[in-house]
């Protein structure tokens, strides 16, 4: 009878250790997969941030060019507006015309600013 009990105890111990080893393997495997996913997500986020900053730089550069072009056009535009106002009476004020133009430039820049702010800093 002692030989039978020894075999039963050995079988039960082997089963318990086998199940415990399987759970340990699942836990370690899950942690490794989660760790890899975390690293890949951080790399993806860094790439997205780099693209957002590049788009912001390009949009900023385009906005500066638009504002400089508008600055050089402004004297001629202002003369035409003043001439039309004197000829036809009324019309928009020069200040409102300039504000609308600047608002248009800012509206083209704003999506790049928003995306950069959304993704945060490096």
Cβ neighbours of residue 122 under 8 Å, at least 6 residues apart?
A: 46, 49
Tally of domains in the chain: 1
Q: DSSP 3-state assignment of 60?
A: helix
Q: Is the pLDDT of residue 58 over 60?
A: yes
Helix (H, G, I), strand (E, B) or coil at 81: helix
Encode pLDDT of 10-40 as tens digits.
777 777 767 777 776 776 666 666 677 788 8
**Residue found under tokens 């300039």:** 98
Q: State the pTM of this model.
A: 0.59
Structure confidence at residue 121 as a pLDDT band (50, 70, 90): low
Closest CA to 106 of 57, 69, 66: 66
Q: Domain range spanning residue 92?
A: 2-119
Helices (H) and strands (E) in the chain, counts: 2, 0
């Amino acid at each position: 009878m002692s030989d039978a009990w020894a075999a039963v105890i050995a079988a039960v111990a082997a089963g318990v250790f086998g199940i415990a080893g399987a759970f340990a393997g699942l836990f370690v495997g899950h942690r490794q997969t989660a760790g890899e996913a975390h690293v890949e997500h951080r790399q993806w986020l860094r790439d997205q941030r780099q693209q957002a900053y590049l788009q912001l730089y390009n949009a900023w550069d385009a906005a500066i060019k638009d504002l400089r072009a508008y600055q050089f056009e402004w004297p001629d535009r202002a003369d035409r507006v003043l001439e039309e106002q004197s000829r036809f009476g009324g019309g928009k004020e020069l200040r409102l015309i300039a504000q609308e133009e600047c608002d248009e430039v800012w509206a083209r820049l704003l999506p790049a600013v928003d995306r950069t702010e959304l993704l945060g800093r490096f």
